[in-house]
Amino acid sequence: DAGVIQSPRHEVTEMGQEVTLRCKPISGHNSLFWYRQTMMRGLELLIYFNNNVPIDDSGMPEDRFSAKMPNASFSTLKIQPSEPRDSAVYFCASSRVFRPYEQYFGPGTRLTVT
């Protein structure tokens, strides 16, 4: 089975530009999580979905961040406008309904905002 797929793997953009990160969870998994990882703050949960419905977005830093899950096989995380402090590695993870605490991570998107 394919694992969690994320695109792009690397993104370099200028401050003020819109950035869209994409994720395809593992087929059959019904929970999806977006995380951000930095050296200073470690791995932080931004938002998660159950059955395509956002459950908890308390980790989203501010209104510049938004996430959608239009169907069970696709999710996006958008930053508009982007700022240099958004530079980080963004991970998507998914899990099964019967073992929601066992999360499988994608390879991440390394975002650099200049």
Binding site residues, other proteins, CB under 8 A: 4, 31, 33, 42-45, 48, 50, 55-56, 91, 93, 95, 99-108
Choose between 31 and 75: whose C-beta lies nearer to other proteins. 31
> Which residue, 43, 47, 36, 45, is CA-closest to 85?
36
Choose between 41 and 62: whose C-beta lies nearer to other proteins. 41
d(CA 87, CA 17): 13
> Which residue, 39, 31, 41, 32, is CA-closest to 61?
41
For residue 81, the minimal CB distance to other proteins (Å) is 27
Q: Which region holds residue 108: left if phi is over 0, alpha if psi is between -120 and 50, else beta?
A: left
d(CA 108, CA 92): 7
For residue 96, the minimal CB distance to other proteins (Å) is 11
For residue 16, the minimal CB distance to other proteins (Å) is 28
Choose between 49 and 65: whose C-beta lies nearer to other proteins. 49
Choose between 39 and 70: whose C-beta lies nearer to other proteins. 39
Q: Compute CA 57 distance to the chain's CA centroid, rounded to the nearest angstrom.
A: 12
For residue 47, the minimal CB distance to other proteins (Å) is 11
